[in-house]
Amino acid sequence: MSIAAEVVREYWAAANQRDWDTFGSLLAEDVLYEGPQTRERVRGKRNYIRFNVEGFPGPWSLDVIRVIGEGHRAASWIQFTNADGTAQQGLCFFDLDDGDKICRITDFWPEPYELPSSREHLVERY
Amino acid sequence: MSIAAEVVREYWAAANQRDWDTFGSLLAEDVLYEGPQTRERVRGKRNYIRFNVEGFPGPWSLDVIRVIGEGHRAASWIQFTNADGTAQQGLCFFDLDDGDKICRITDFWPEPYELPSSREHLVERY
């Protein structure tokens, strides 16, 4: 497994355990988080830990579906389960710096949508 | 670059050029495509090429933002630009078989959404 994939697996395990010390130890001081869907951005380790602790309270849990790492980059696919049992899949791209700390995170949360009628005849449903 | 990342770069280049012969040559006969957001599924190379040709007509184009490969797996992040100039980001996870053909594709298309007020004070906007 690449270093990047290992670090990202540790990152998600620490988040799931609310182990914010370990979580923080994996981040660069100048980590940059972006969510392109809302155009939200968080700069810096301290702000990013606060964003996770205060922005997502409650008894959520997450399962890692897949992590792929190559060199100093990784992508993850997780399932996030809310307190009410609803689940959402999250896709995340990571960059690590030369010290193997996570320095950039880009985060996507796709929602269900209606299948366009233009391709209904070309697919099965599951 | 891993084989998987190379194959995925060729896959997107062939799609962008509508070079369906090259595109097909990268796919396993029993390729399985899934879109979890609509719960749509396509089975087999022939159906999957038809899905791409007939399901997405018009002068779209795509740009590859990132491809990460590890072993027989890869993830890609692309930008898809529609005929009307609107753009959407696509995230895709790939599996290759032992012959380095793409045998599984899982495709996500996240849409913009409103920033929840619960984390407004924790982020910048860009």
Q: Report residue B91's pLDDT band, with 50, 70 and 90 as the boundaries.
A: very high
Sheet arrangement for strand B124-125 = A61-70, A73-81, A87-96, A102-108, A27-35, A40-43, B124-125
The first and second tokens of residue A4, run together, are 């990047």
Residue B5, pLDDT score: 98
Q: Tokens 């609803």 correspond to what residue?
A: A86
Q: Is the pLDDT of residue A1 over 90?
A: no
What is the phi/psi pair of residue A118, to 5°?
-60, -20
Q: Is the pLDDT of residue B58 over 90?
A: no
Residue A94, pLDDT score: 98
DSSP B58: S
Q: ipTM of this model?
A: 0.95
- From chain A, the residues in CB contact with B42 under 8 A are 122-124
The CA distance from B74 to A112, in Å, is 23
Task: State percent of chain B over pLDDT 70.
Answer: 100
Quick check: A97 and A73 in contact, CB under 8 A? no
Q: Under an 8 A CB cutoff, do A55 and B109 touch?
A: no
Q: Under an 8 A CB cutoff, do B37 and A1 touch?
A: no
- With CA atoms as reference, the chain A residue closest to B68 would be A70
Task: State percent of chain B over pLDDT 90.
Answer: 96
The CA distance from B105 to B118, in Å, is 35
Q: Is the pLDDT of residue A109 over 90?
A: yes
Task: Select from B16, B22, B26, B18 the least CA-distant residue to B53.
Answer: B18
Task: State percent of chain A over pLDDT 90.
Answer: 96
Q: Under an 8 A CB cutoff, do A51 and B119 touch?
A: yes
DSSP-derived 3-state class of residue A39: coil
Q: Is the pLDDT of residue B124 over 90?
A: yes
Q: Is the pLDDT of residue A3 over 90?
A: yes
- With CA atoms as reference, the chain B residue closest to A40 would be B125
Q: Under an 8 A CB cutoff, do B42 and A124 touch?
A: yes
For chain B, what is the mean pLDDT?
Answer: 97
Tens digits of per-residue pLDDT, B37-46?
A: 999 999 999 9
User: Which of A50, A55, A112 has its CB closest to that of B118?
Assistant: A55
- With CA atoms as reference, the chain B residue closest to A1 would be B70
The CA distance from A81 to A63, in Å, is 8
Query: Taking residues A21-29, what's their average pLDDT?
Result: 98
Query: Taking residues B73-97, what's their average pLDDT?
Result: 96
Bridge-based pairing of strands B102-108 and B27-35 is parallel
Q: Tokens 């100093």 correspond to what residue?
A: A72
Angle at B125 between CA B123 and CA B126, to 5 degrees: 140
Q: Tokens 């981040």 correspond to what residue?
A: A27
Residue A112, pLDDT score: 96
The CA distance from B52 to B29, in Å, is 15
Q: Under an 8 A CB cutoff, do A93 and B66 touch?
A: yes
Query: Taking residues B60-87, what's their average pLDDT?
Result: 96
- Find residue A92's DSSP bridge partners: A76, A107
- With CA atoms as reference, the chain B residue closest to A48 would be B122
Residue B83, pLDDT score: 85
- From chain B, the residues in CB contact with A89 under 8 A are 36, 108
Angle at A22 between CA A80 and CA A86, to 5 degrees: 10
